[in-house]
Structure 1
Amino acid sequence: MSSILLVNHLSKIYQTGPKSFTVLDDISFEIEPGSSCAIVGPSGSGKTTLLGLCAGLDTASSGNVILDGQAIDSLNEDERASVRNHSVGFIFQSFNLLPTLTALENVMVPLELLGRKNIKQTAKDLLEKVGLGDRMNHYATQLSGGEQQRVSIARAFANNPKILFADEPTGNLDEETGATIEKLLFDLNAEQGTTLVLVTHDNELAQKTDRIIKLKGGKLHEDTQLKTIA
């Protein structure tokens, strides 16, 4: 089975004047299509930086990332954006909704960028799936944190992504709301056959994935397969 994500000897070093700071040091792993993986580790271990590099939001100091068959480090920003638009979905801890748009319009945005047809109906269907059929004309400020995250999940699945990156998807939610969002995320992921890679501090959430990659001090500390991928 070919990998949906292949990370080869990835390092990220930030230069501040004469000083350099290594955030990631020689990270390598691959992820199979349709699987779920949690990236865990203490604060400052490089989890979010790794997620950004895997998604093509940033470039590595050395090493490379092959995402859906594309060596994204060799692409320019417009080319990386095209790969993200067609293959990737994102869910952020801070929701990242556009406040001047309604829930429906927020979900329509990625579909408009791709030039898809019937985008309004597609967005409505996704909002129905996440339980917001009666809230789709509300603005972000009129929605609770849990509702905003539901909108961001609907938006993330709008382009039928092959891989979904989630950065602390329940980090800003209370325990009960977080559990609801977790179930929704895993259910939709299974239904659409998407690959899920998430960063989390929540060990219970990590244990629900197929695999846990643990970072420590910018290095890959442990790589544990929890479930066999069919």
Structure 2
Amino acid sequence: MAHILKVSNLKKTYSSGSKELTVLEDINFEIQEKETFSIVGPSGSGKTTLLGLCAGLDQPDSGEIELCGTNLQQLDEDERAFLRNKKVGFVFQDFQLIPTLTALENVAVPLELQGDPRAEEISRELLSKVGLKDRFDHYPSQLSGGEKQRVAVARAFSNRPSILFADEPTGNLDEETGQKVVELLMDLNNAAGTTLVIVTHDLELAQKTQRILRLKGGRILKTEAV
């Protein structure tokens, strides 16, 4: 099976005053199409930074990232944004819903950006799948945390992404709600055949994926099959 994400010799540093802080160093791994993959590690190990680099939201200092057959280092910012809109889905810890849009409108945004005439129809279908068919016209402020994350999950799948990045998707949810959201995420992912990459500190969640990459101090400790 072909790889959908390949990371080679990745390094990322940040300047902190006069000091240079190395956040990631010597990062190498591949993820195959349709694979479920998690990145785990303690707080400050570089997990979220790595996810941002893999998705083309940030640029490394050195090394290469190949996403969906394209070398991200050869693209400018607009080209990277275009690739993300076409091929990538996101679920964030803090939901990142647009407060002035209803649940239905939030899910439809990626499709409308692509000019998809079926935006509303697909959005209704996805919200129904995540158990929110009676919440189409509710605004984020009228939804519970679990409902907001369900809207975010529906939105992530709306543009039928090739790869979906989830950054601590249960981080702001209680345990029971978090488990329900994870089940939905996994079910939708299996049905769509999407590659799923989850950044989490929750080892129980990581065990639900096929492989786990363990980070510590910005370096890979090991990558293991579950």
1:120 is the counterpart of 2:104: no
The match for 1:41 is 41
Where 1:173 maps in the other structure, the secondary structure is: coil
Offset at residue 10 of structure 1 (A)? 0.6
The match for 1:155 is 155
**Normalising by structure 1, what TM-score?**
0.97
The match for 1:210 is 210
- Of the structure 1 ranges 10-19 and 181-190, higher mean CA displacement relative to structure 2 is found in 10-19
1:66-88 Cα deviation digits (max 9, x unpaired)? 00000012211100001100110
1:94 is the counterpart of 2:94: yes
Which consecutive residues of structure 2, in runs of 5 or more, have no partner in the other structure? none
The match for 1:19 is 19
Structure 1 stretches of at least 4 aligned residues deviating more than 6 Å after TM superposition: none
- Of the structure 1 ranges 10-19 and 198-207, higher mean CA displacement relative to structure 2 is found in 10-19
Q: Residue type of the partner of 1:151?
A: V
Where 2:3 maps in the other structure, the secondary structure is: coil
Equivalences, count: 226
Where 2:158 maps in the other structure, the secondary structure is: coil
Offset at residue 90 of structure 1 (A)? 0.1
Offset at residue 16 of structure 1 (A)? 3.0
The match for 2:103 is 103
Where 1:116 maps in the other structure, the secondary structure is: coil
The match for 1:143 is 143
Where 2:124 maps in the other structure, the secondary structure is: helix
Where 1:157 maps in the other structure, the secondary structure is: helix
1:41-75 Cα deviation digits (max 9, x unpaired)? 01000000000000000000000100000001221
Q: How does 1:147-226 map to 2 (within 5 A)?
A: 147-226=147-226
Q: Residue type of the partner of 1:116?
A: D
Q: Please report the RMSD computed on the Cα atoms of aligned residues, expressed in angstroms.
A: 0.7
The match for 1:130 is 130
The match for 1:70 is 70
Distance across 2 between alignment mates of 1:73 and 1:159: 24
Where 1:49 maps in the other structure, the secondary structure is: helix
Offset at residue 164 of structure 1 (A)? 0.4
**Normalising by structure 2, what TM-score?**
0.99
1:155-199 Cα deviation digits (max 9, x unpaired)? 000100000000000010011101100100000000000000001
Q: Residue type of the partner of 1:38?
A: S
Q: Residue type of the partner of 1:59?
A: Q
Distance across 1 between alignment mates of 2:121 and 2:6: 35
Offset at residue 225 of structure 1 (A)? 1.2
Taking only the aligned residue pairs, the percentage that are identical comes to 61
Distance across 1 between alignment mates of 2:98 and 2:147: 14
Distance across 1 between alignment mates of 2:177 and 2:17: 44
The match for 1:61 is 61
